Amino acid sequence: MYRYMDTQIFLTGILIFFARICDVSMGTVRTIVTVHGRTTIAFFLGILEVIIWILVVSTVVTQIKDSPILILFYALGFATGNVVGIMVERKIAFGFLVLRVITAQRGDAMAQRLRAMGQPVTTFMGKGMRGPVQELYVVCRRRDLKRLLPAIKEIDPDAFYITEQARDVNKVLKPVNTPITGWRAILKKK
């Protein structure tokens, strides 16, 4: 009987741990998609998050007197869920960014390369600390940033760039030749 209880407590703890990872990571993603204005996704994530949370909390509260170790599983699941949520959101990469690139020498070549990649670019002339510079202004999807930055650094390793979150964008010209990646690439092969 005692050995059964230890196994049961351990399995309950593992279940609590993974349930907390799910609900906290959903909460992290829900918060970020709310900021990006994606209300439908935030709505459904909120429902799932609260259902899991209530089930987990009620389990811990009813068993805490007999099995205080469940608090540790609960806390570890919470902490791990934060990290998993951030990783999931970075992978999904919702939203848009404003990418500003400042280069002293290779602005035209950089703009041409980004446009060849299908990315709309607006350029401005300016004056920096050491003379004339060119600023490239790009509004892009967050997921496209990992394609754009290597191209920028290849053309001008000394280029300075800044990214800012673009909350409301009235018109985005998506790249015409974005490579298909992730699960869409797998489905495309079949």
DSSP-derived letter for residue 118 is T
pLDDT at 149: 94
pLDDT at 8 over 70: yes
- Report all structural domains of the chain as residue ranges with CATH numbers, in order of start: 2-92 (no CATH), 96-176 (3.30.70.120)
CA dist 107 and 21 (Å) reads 45
Cα gap 28→13, rounded to integer Å: 22
Per mean pLDDT, which range of 36-50, 99-113, 172-186 is the poorest? 172-186
Its sign, for the CA torsion 178, 161, 171, 28, is positive
* Residues 143-181 pLDDT 10s: 888 899 999 999 999 999 999 887 767 766 665 555 566
| Mean pLDDT computed over 99-115 | 93
Average pLDDT, the chain: 86
pLDDT score of 184 more than 80: no
| Cross-strand bridge partners of residue 124 | 135
Residue 1's pLDDT band, with cuts at 50, 70 and 90, is very low
For the stretch 162-177, what's the b/e string if a residue is b when 16 or more beta carbons lie within 10 angstroms of its beta carbon?
eeeebeeeeeeeebee
Region of residue 25 (left: phi > 0; alpha: psi -120 to 50; beta: else): alpha
For residue 105, pLDDT beyond 60? yes
pLDDT value at position 11? Answer: 93
Q: Is the pTM of this model over 0.85?
A: no
Question: How crowded is residue 76: how many other Cβ atoms within 10 Å of its Cβ?
Answer: 15
| CA dist., res. 38 & res. 13, Å (int) | 34
Helices marked H in the chain — which ranges? 2-35, 39-63, 70-92, 107-116, 145-155, 182-189
Closest CA to 123 of 139, 142, 107: 107
> HSE-up of 30 (CA within 13 Å, CB side)?
17
